[in-house]
Chains A and B, each alone.
Chain A
Amino acid sequence: MLDGELHIIKRAVEGDSSAFGQLYDHYQPKIYRFTLVKVSHREEAEDLTHQVFLKALQSIGSYKDLGFPFSSWLYRIARNQVVDYYRTRKETVRIEDTDPDEMPEKHPAHDKLADKIEIERTQKALRKLKPEYQDVIMMRFVEDLPIRETAIALGKTEGAVKLIQHRAIKELKKTLTENH
């Protein structure tokens, strides 16, 4: 959560574009990372990220925290955008069916080569998981989203999220071990 987020959101809702800009700066990398796990190319992740914020900007005027934290709202939009993306693309192959090795990924330059390799390995393993597992892992462990906000974003109970996260980590561990 951004410092003073509630106040920033309030200003954004009232039409203050600099306030929305602050929200954009804080959440854009998170949404980008989230979509990157789900799509094959960086360019597509960028497109999706842009669409997410465009939609958010268009509906910010009617946003109100009716039990919907802003982060959860944004992740919901992101999830829906990913679904729309798969529905409208011409190729019918789904992300879960593809071999992650066919999706070469360029990461921004990173100092340590070992870390870079590890990041790629982790991403590939993540892509092999069920979408639901990917969502929980990205939100909870990469983006440090609290359980409540994750649950709301996914439309699940907190108990369900805890169960999914346990299973997801187990599955990820298994995948990483198999591919080592």
Chain B
Amino acid sequence: MKLKRVWVVGIFFVLIGLGIGNLARAEECILNKSVFEGLQQTGDPQSYLQKIRQELSLRKELISSVLDCAIEEASALKTSVDASSAPELQRIALEISTLLGNSMEYYKFQRKKIPDLGLEGSRDFASDILVWRKGNYIPVAKTASNIILWSKNQALMRAAKSRLDQIGGAVTILKLIENDRIQNKWKEANISFDAARLENKSAVQSFENFAHPEETLASIKRSLEYLSKTYEVLVNLVDEISKLTSKIQQPYENSF
């Protein structure tokens, strides 16, 4: 029994930690101080019945807190999905937003049942919520997460395209000067960027096909990796161009 109490108190402590440093964890996720104080004052319970009652009370509080956190999590995700502005994913974003809203309603509905729970019932309740969450909420949340990620990536894609256009001008002029290194690097940068774009588009297809979130995430990740490679090549390319142009400019400047 003592061990069990220690375990239960342990959950209490760790659940307090749920409120630390997480943007999504607003006031609802911070455990009620009075509940905690009530626990400390319990001391050594007099009877078996008292122990049961205290444990049940504690369990109900903890389940409540967990559901509050779940509601808050879904709410924050929904807000982020609603704020993501990618027109390509508008339809899917709306669907996911609706599903997240439904999840919140589910949690709220379940929360109403907590006062009527018994000890064994509270365990079954937690188990049912877990099963529901894994089967229903988690896939939706993963897709929501992917939508937010993909939307943010478009700014990076646009920035990379801008860079390519910017550097492309210099490279085109430099074609006149035989420089295979620069031309090859330029080609390499474009190939990487095209691959990034292909994966980016592939992610959209995954969303539209309601593919597994892991599949979509894999495409998103690959597009970013190709984008990273593009920048790696561009940085080298700009260095090469700088070296080349300083060689050309120097004799000119020295002539004055």
Contact = CB atoms under 8 A, between A and B. Distances in A.
Interface in A52-111: 59, 62, 64, 66, 68, 76, 79-80, 83, 87
Nearest to A73: B198
Give the interface centre of A59, A64, A79 by most chain B CB atoms within 10 Å. Answer: A64
Contact of A155 (B194, B206, B226): B206
Contacts of B215: 154-156
B143 interface: no
A87 B212 CA distance: 19
Q: Interface range on chain B: under 10, 10 to 19, 20 to 34, or 35 or more?
A: 10 to 19
B182 to A, nearest CB: 19
B219 A155 contact: yes
B217 to A, nearest CB: 10
Contact of B191 (A64, A80, A154): A64
Interface of B: 190-192, 194-195, 202, 205-206, 208-209, 211-212, 215, 218-219, 226
Contacts of A83: 205, 208-209
Secondary structure call for the A interface: helix
Nearest to A84: B205
The 4 closest A-B pairs by CB, nearest first: A62-B194, A155-B215, A64-B191, A66-B195
A62 B190 contact: yes
A133 to B, nearest CB: 14
Contacts, number: 30
A39 to B, nearest CB: 16
B209 A155 contact: no
A64 B233 CA distance: 16
Contacts of B205: 79-80, 83
15 contacts: A62-B191, A62-B194, A64-B195, A66-B191, A66-B195, A66-B226, A76-B202, A79-B205, A83-B208, A83-B209, A87-B208, A131-B209, A154-B215, A155-B202, A155-B218
A111 to B, nearest CB: 38
Given A64-B191, A64-B195, A87-B208, 4 more contacts: A59-B194, A79-B205, A80-B205, A155-B206
A155 to B, nearest CB: 5
Contacts of A80: 202, 205
Contacts of B192: 66
A70 B143 CA distance: 29
Contacts of B208: 83, 87
A87 B209 CA distance: 10
Nearest to A132: B211
B38 to A, nearest CB: 49
A1 B206 CA distance: 26
A64 B206 CA distance: 22
A79 B202 CA distance: 10
A30 B128 CA distance: 47
Given A66-B226, A76-B202, A80-B205, A155 B211 contact: yes
Nearest to B192: A66
A80 B192 CA distance: 21
Nearest to B208: A83
